[in-house]
């Protein structure tokens, strides 16, 4: 029997306290080394923009050290070295064009403690604390995946918005077989190894909308924030190829963790085309959580909406959900990169069965602002026929556009004005289009 929400919260607190104690105890002897490592990370951020080559390289290097978007292998430090790094992020947003325009803000801090155990192994703990709630932003309901993740406007919005510190990742990682294999074990996030993208995968410096951070038609396993016990294994036989397989607990509660899992396999091709780097990823996945309907048709029959383990089910639809997806990014000039995502999932267990998004990134090197970045994106989410049948007003695909300008105030501090425009929110043709204006302040340490 699944544990109650309160029991899960208590377990999370226990893990947080234990992990914090471990971090404090281990970090003290290595503080000087960690402080020295921090200067290296600041220097790496000087290539946050410049040109597209420098932008991608700088961002990937920084994310590797911070285990966000950790699809790249983390660089090894000297044996016994410990580093502490992270992000402080503040976001303010307001709506325009809704029946009751409003504004709200969120703030979060991510802190990463990383210790190298030997030349090929390391231990990492990721702490997260968040304040604020996107739910306070009055706007029409947007589409939501079976895991409850909406096609929302603030990807930094967590479900544990409180002053409580959460230990969201705790894992051991090692390289095997002439460094061609990388194994990660512990509390991990599948978003760190699956569906990455050089230009659309980071709410700290890139797009804020969920639609442009990951494939929303991908029902990630783990908790509501995609963390859970599991493992991933990556094979890198040559520089231009990675093959990754991963498996984690489907809902992150450590119950039935071997029977109900989220599994995925991804192939990442990394060619150099006309002297420009690119990534071409294709993957398939399966989420073994049971899916129930919680909507009724006008005739009283059960129909699908979202999967909620705490919802009293009307009818069980399926024992799992499956899907496929692609994530592509390609540098096309010194200052321009383009990207594309597409995903598809079982149309019988979700509000939407397909989603596609695309965009481009322009670095400030094109206009003498070497560390600035501009991003532009468009996305469309296609309603499933089963979900359309629940309401006559559901007849159009939800569409979203976003543009941002990431202004580098210093090498470690950026301010980003952001604009989003959404038509047919939730696929509801009776709802008017609306805008969300926002500003983000990010500090890297």
List, for residues 262-278, the tens digit of each pLDDT value. Answer: 899 999 999 999 899 99
CA distances from 190 to 106, 124, 134, 195, 325 (A): 24, 15, 23, 9, 14
- pLDDT band with cut points at 50, 70 and 90 for residue 220: confident
Mean pLDDT of 150-162: 60
- Beta-bridge mates of residue 284: 265, 324
- In Å, what is the CA distance from 87 to each residue of 46, 156, 342, 397, 436? 16, 12, 29, 35, 24
How far apart (Å, rounded) are the C-alpha atoms in residues 13 and 11? Answer: 5
Burial class (CB in 10 A: 0-12, 13-18, 19+), 319: exposed
CB 89 within 8 A of CB 68: no
pLDDT of residue 24: 36
Residue 156: what pLDDT? 62
**How far from chain centre, in Å, is Cα 187?**
16
Mean pLDDT of the region 343-352:
84
Residue 363 pLDDT: 93
Q: Which two tokens stand for residue 77?
A: 């430090």
CA-based nearest residue to 69, from 185, 179, 270, 226:
226
pLDDT at residue number 129: 87
* For residue 360, pLDDT beyond 90: yes
Among candidates 344, 253, 245, 251, which has minimal Cα distance to 289?
Answer: 251
Sign of torsion, CA 414 420 425 431?
positive
For residue 240, the model assigns a pLDDT of 95
Concatenated DSSP letters of 41-69: HHHHGGGSSSSHHHHHHHHHHHHHHHTTT
Q: Residue 338 burial by CB count (10 A; 0-12/13-18/19+): exposed, middle or buried? A: middle
**How big is the chain, counted in residues?**
445
Confidence class of residue 404 from pLDDT cuts 50, 70 and 90?
A: very high
pTM of the model: 0.76
What confidence score (pLDDT) does residue 152 get?
67
Asked if residue 177 lies in contact with residue 161, where contact means CB atoms within 8 angstroms, the answer is no
Sequence-ordered list of residues with C-beta below 8 angstroms from that of 368, at least 6 positions apart, any chain: none
Q: How confident is the model at residue 325 (pLDDT cuts 50, 70, 90)?
A: very high
Q: What is the mean pLDDT of residues 125-129?
A: 91
**Segment among 37-41, 211-215, 259-263 with least mean pLDDT:** 37-41
Highest mean pLDDT among 21-35, 51-65, 228-242: 228-242
Q: What is the pLDDT of residue 106?
A: 86
Tokens standing for 139? 């706007």
Cβ atoms within 10 Å, residue 39: 9
Write down the mean pLDDT value for the chain.
76
Assign 234 a pLDDT band (cuts: 50, 70, 90). Answer: very high
206 pLDDT exceeds 90? yes
Q: Where are the alpha helices (DSSP H) in 364-420?
A: 385-388
Give 150's DSSP letter.
Answer: B
Mean pLDDT of the region 373-400: 85
CATH numbers and ranges of domains, the chain:
5-444 (2.40.160.180)
Question: 111 with 86: CB under 8 angstroms?
Answer: yes
Whether the CB-CB separation of 90 and 441 falls below 8 Å is answered with yes
Query: 7 or 181, which is more confident?
Result: 181
Which two tokens mark 14? 């226990």
Assign 408 a pLDDT band (cuts: 50, 70, 90).
Answer: very high
pLDDT of residue 133: 66
Tokens of 135: 């739910």
Per-residue pLDDT, 7: 44
Whether the per-residue pLDDT at 341 is higher than 70: the answer is: yes
Q: How is residue 37 annotated by DSSP? A: H
What pLDDT sits at residue 308?
A: 42
CA contacts within 13 A on the Cβ side of 105: 9
- Res. 350: pLDDT tops 70: yes
What is the per-residue pLDDT across 268-315, written as a single tens digit (0 to 9) for each?
999 999 899 999 999 999 988 777 665 444 333 333 444 444 445 456
């Amino acid at each position: 029997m699944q544990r109650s929400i309160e029991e899960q919260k208590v377990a999370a607190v226990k893990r947080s306290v234990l992990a914090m104690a471990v971090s404090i105890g281990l970090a003290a002897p290595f503080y000087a080394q960690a402080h020295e490592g921090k200067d290296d990370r600041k220097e790496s951020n000087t290539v946050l923009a410049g040109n597209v080559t420098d932008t991608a390289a700088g961002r990937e290097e920084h994310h590797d050290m911070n285990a966000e978007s950790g699809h790249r292998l983390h660089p090894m430090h000297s044996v016994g070295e410990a580093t502490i790094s992270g992000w402080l992020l503040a976001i303010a947003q307001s709506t325009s064009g809704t029946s009751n325009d409003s504004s709200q803000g969120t703030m979060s801090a991510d802190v990463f403690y990383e210790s190298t155990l030997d030349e090929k192994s390391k231990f990492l703990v990721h702490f997260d604390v968040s304040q604020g709630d996107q739910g306070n932003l009055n706007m029409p309901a947007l589409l939501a995946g079976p895991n409850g993740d909406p096609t929302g406007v603030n990807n930094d919005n967590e479900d544990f918005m409180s002053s409580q510190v959460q230990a969201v990742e705790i894992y051991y990682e090692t390289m095997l077989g002439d460094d061609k294999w990388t194994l990660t074990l512990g509390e991990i996030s599948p978003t760190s190894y699956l569906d990455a993208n050089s230009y659309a995968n980071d709410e700290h410096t890139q797009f804020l909308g969920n639609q442009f951070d990951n494939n929303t038609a991908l029902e990630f396993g783990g908790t509501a924030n995609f963390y859970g016990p599991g493992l991933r294994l990556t094979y890198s036989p040559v520089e231009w190829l990675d093959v990754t397989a991963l498996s984690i607990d489907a809902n992150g509660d450590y119950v039935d963790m071997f029977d109900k899992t989220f599994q995925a396999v991804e192939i990442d091709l990394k060619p150099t085309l006309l002297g420009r780097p690119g990534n071409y990823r294709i993957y398939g996945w399966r989420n073994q959580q049971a899916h129930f309907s919680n909507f009724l048709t006008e005739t009283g029959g059960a129909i699908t909406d979202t999967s909620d383990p705490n919802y009293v089910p009307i009818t069980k639809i399926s024992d799992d959900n499956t899907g496929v997806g692609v994530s592509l990014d390609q540098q096309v000039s010194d200052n321009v990169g383009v990207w594309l995502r597409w995903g598809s999932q079982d149309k019988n267990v979700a509000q939407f069965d397909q989603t596609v998004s695309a965009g481009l990134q322009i670095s400030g090197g094109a206009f003498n602002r070497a560390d600035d970045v501009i991003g532009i994106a468009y996305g469309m989410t296609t309603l499933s026929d089963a979900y359309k049948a629940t309401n006559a007003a559901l007849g159009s695909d939800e569409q979203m556009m976003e543009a941002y300008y990431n202004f580098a105030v210093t090498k470690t501090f950026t301010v980003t004005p952001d604009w989003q425009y959404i038509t047919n929110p939730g696929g509801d043709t009776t709802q008017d289009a609306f805008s969300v204006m926002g500003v983000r302040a990010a500090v890297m340490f």
